[in-house]
Amino acid sequence: AQSVTQLGSHVSVSEGALVLLRCNYSSSVPPYLFWYVQYPNQGLQLLLKYTSAATLVKGINGFEAEFKKSETSFHLTKPSAHMSDAAEYFCAVSYFNDMRFGAGTRLTVKP
């Protein structure tokens, strides 16, 4: 069975600082991996996805993630945080449309 673990339920950074949100996956087959963002009282918006084409994936709003098979990780980064990045972030793994989500990481951005 596939699963993801997000390390850190809450991350706080200063505006302009590096954002690093951690995700480790467990999958018996090559995974499809995703990061979604959820703003308050809204649905999930796709940030980026890994589908085995390239290990470094660039997404929207300046985010990127690197797939590391040896570490079974798919961490999300952004070089410089903006106040508008404050939201809940979810890592997800999917195989044959069976998508499993992590518990989420709440990102707070301090001015």
Partner 1 sequence: DAGVTQSPTHLIKTRGQQVTLRCSPKSGHDTVSWYQQALGQGPQFIFQYYEEEERQRGNFPDRFSGHQFPNYSSELNVNALLLGDSALYLCASSLVAEETQYFGPGTRLLVL
18-26, 57-65, 66-74, 87-95 -> range binding partner 1 (CB under 8 A): 87-95
Asked if residue 25 binds partner 1 (CB under 8 A), the reply is no
Residue 96 to residue 110: CA distance in whole angstroms: 39
Both tokens of residue 35? 């990061």
Both tokens of residue 95? 């195989």
Nearer to partner 1, 45 or 55 (CB): 45
At position 73, the amino acid (one-letter code) is S
Q: Write phi, then psi, for 83 (nearest 5 degrees).
A: -55, -35
Nearer to partner 1, 22 or 100 (CB): 100
Both tokens of residue 50? 């890994």
The count of chain residues that interact with partner 1, using the rule CB under 8 A, is 23
- The footprint of partner 1 (CB under 8 A) covers 32, 34, 36, 41-46, 49, 51, 90, 94-104
